[in-house]
Amino acid sequence: MNRKIYLIADASEEFDVLHLKLEQALSSGVDRLQIFNTEGANLDQLFEIKKLCRFYHIPLLIYNNISIFETLEADGIHFDAIPADFNKKQKILGVTVGNDVSALQQAYKLGADYISFCSVFPTRSATACELVNREIISLARDYYDGEIFLAGGISEENLDKLTGLDFDGVAMISEIMRAEDIGKKINNLKTKLSAT
């Protein structure tokens, strides 16, 4: 199975460093990019990130910020809970889910294109997420027919613990953004994901 890597990056990181890391990641096979911490972010810098995504033909999603999503005309938006009055139009819509089956049902009802289970493993990045039971991930296809991503504490070392689960990709922050060689890290992750 050709599983995807969904990179999540922090807009508050020093821009020159962030831009360099994103260029390395996007040119190395990341399939999707989400930007968080966009409140008060420099719009010119966000447009530079959008331009980079366009160059590599990678969808750009904004986390939980409708105003920035609309200003940038980004490819999609990710919510922790989809507002009932949100009009997704032709954009990518994603939502974080946990152990509550009703969240899966709501994601389906509101037309989410993908869900992201958080947190699969303990992590410092996703502090607001509960640890997700493997059983609920296994049941997800019964309630939801879009793409399923797994997030939270996933690393090259623990990818094999995801064997047997039905999912379309993984969402990562630290594992990629803190790597010494981002291209090599992504290549290793893709190789391991294809064997999972």
Confidence at residue 87, expressed as pLDDT on a 0 to 100 scale: 80
Confidence at residue 123, expressed as pLDDT on a 0 to 100 scale: 80
CATH number at residue 191: 3.20.20.70
Domain count, the chain: 1
Confidence at residue 180, expressed as pLDDT on a 0 to 100 scale: 96
In angstroms, rounded to a whole number, what is the distance separating the alpha carbons of residues 47 and 44? Answer: 5
In angstroms, rounded to a whole number, what is the distance separating the alpha carbons of residues 28 and 21? Answer: 11
pLDDT in tens, 79-110: 998 887 888 788 999 999 999 999 899 899 88
Secondary structure (DSSP) of 147-168: EEEEESS--TTTGGGGTT---S
Question: Quick one: what percent of the chain has pLDDT higher than 90?
Answer: 83
Residue ranges in the chain modelled with pLDDT below 50:
none
| Domain of residue 96, residue span | 4-195
Strand partners, 147: 114
Task: Give the H or E element holding residue 172.
Answer: strand 169-172
- Environment class of residue 155 by beta-carbon count within 10 Å: exposed (0-12), middle (13-18) or buried (19+)? middle
pTM of the model: 0.94
